[in-house]
């Protein structure tokens, strides 16, 4: 029998009900994360408006099996487990998550961090908010050494200027961003092993029209031996980080309000950015000795030594090829 629209009266309760469309999409790349991903999953509330997307970045078979079991045990109504074989690294994994996200808001998390008890309230507050980006106060999880990974970011946040905070933030955790903001700017992560989120974070803020600050701490960074943030960088990774910092400076110079430019773009970094945009690595290698020699590369960032070293290595390599 063929039913016409409107002729199913009395049968609606027997039809399967589709779940509510998610408002938030939480994207989590994992790599051999079975030992600590469960803590992150436990900190995420089980809600109909929250979609949890976990992208497995080439974990071992046993680790992937255990991590997926922890995800399934949590019972999220909207959950996706996606393999990431063709786009290795955290940047490629996040891009895979963005391609499959359905929520109006995008949230990012790393598998070895976790959310605080303030996270559910933040979801309630901003589900229908008119803003297109929310920057939350950063925080570091308690650790035996008493170290803080977010001390510099906390000082910047305390300034209370959303532009200063947004253009000085290199990371994508601890924020909500509208998916249409990301799609409008055609934004994706660099598919590298380090500094993959620097240009994305700054570009995302540069494209935001109504960003806001929220003093709540919803997310805690952890300090873990063996993580990408803790291991010594190779020469290639230092070069990647150097180029990411220079690309960030170019974005800042183009998009940041003029009254805060001295705060977010040191003069030396702007000279390096201009050299990078016009002449690539060769221009950068020629400009670096002048900038560093004249003390123009002024920065509060801890990775300044790495950038200097990377530029020096690249300069020697360029001379060897000339």
| HSE of 304, CA atoms in CB hemisphere, 13 A | 13
Phi, psi of 78 (to 5 degrees): -115, 110
Query: Tokens standing for 90?
Result: 């955290």
The pLDDT, as a whole number, for residue 12 is 38
pLDDT value of position 178: 97
Residues of the chain with CATH 3.90.550.10: 24-220
Homologous superfamily of domain range 24-220: Spore Coat Polysaccharide Biosynthesis Protein SpsA; Chain A (3.90.550.10)
Rounded CA separation 214/229 (Å): 26
Within 10 angstroms of residue 236's Cβ, the number of other Cβ atoms is 13
Distance CA 165, CA 174 (A): 12
pLDDT digits (tens), the chain, 322 positions: 333 333 333 433 443 444 567 999 999 999 998 999 999 999 999 999 999 999 999 899 999 999 999 999 999 999 999 998 776 789 999 999 999 999 999 999 999 999 999 999 999 999 999 999 999 999 999 877 777 878 888 988 998 999 999 998 889 999 999 999 999 999 999 888 878 898 999 999 999 999 999 999 999 999 876 555 555 566 566 667 667 777 777 788 788 887 776 666 666 666 666 676 666 666 766 666 666 555 544 444 444 555 555 555 555 555 555 5
Cα distances from 34 to residues 30, 65, 67, in angstroms, run 9, 8, 5
Residue 61 has, within 13 A of its CA and on its CB side, a CA count of 0
The whole-number pLDDT of residue 143 equals: 79
Provide φ and ψ at 54, rounded to 5°.
Answer: -110, 125
Query: Given this model, what pLDDT does residue 3 score?
Result: 33
């Amino acid at each position: 029998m063929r039913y016409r629209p409107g002729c199913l009266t009395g049968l609606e309760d027997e039809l399967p009900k589709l779940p509510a469309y998610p408002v938030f999409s939480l994207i989590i790349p994992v790599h051999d994360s079975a030992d600590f991903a469960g803590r992150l999953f436990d900190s995420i509330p089980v809600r109909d408006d929250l979609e949890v997307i976990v992208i497995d970045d080439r974990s071992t078979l046993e680790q992937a099996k255990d991590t997926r079991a922890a995800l399934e045990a949590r019972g999220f109504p909207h959950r996706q487990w996606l393999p990431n074989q063709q786009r290795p690294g955290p940047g490629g994994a996040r891009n895979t998550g963005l391609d499959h996200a359905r929520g109006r808001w995008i949230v990012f998390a790393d598998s070895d961090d976790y959310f605080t008890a303030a996270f559910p309230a933040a979801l309630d507050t901003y589900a229908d908010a008119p803003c297109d980006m929310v920057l939350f106060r950063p925080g570091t999880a308690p650790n035996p050494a008493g170290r803080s990974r977010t001390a510099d970011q906390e000082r910047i946040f305390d300034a209370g200027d959303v532009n200063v905070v947004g253009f000085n933030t290199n990371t994508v955790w601890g924020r909500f961003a509208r998916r249409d903001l990301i799609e409008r700017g055609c934004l994706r992560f660099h598919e590298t092993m380090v500094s993959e989120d620097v240009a994305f974070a700054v570009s995302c803020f540069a494209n935001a029209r109504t960003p806001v600050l929220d003093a709540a701490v919803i997310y805690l960074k952890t300090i873990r031996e063996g993580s990408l943030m803790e291991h010594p960088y190779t020469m290639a990774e230092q070069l990647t980080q150097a180029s990411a910092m220079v690309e960030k400076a170019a974005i800042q110079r183009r998009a940041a309000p003029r009254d805060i430019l001295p705060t977010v773009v040191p003069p030396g970094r702007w000279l390096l950015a201009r050299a990078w945009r016009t002449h690539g690595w060769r221009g950068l290698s020629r400009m670096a000795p002048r900038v560093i020699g004249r003390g123009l590369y002024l920065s509060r960032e801890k990775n300044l030594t790495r950038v200097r070293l990377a530029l020096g290595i690249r300069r020697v390599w360029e001379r060897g090829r000339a």
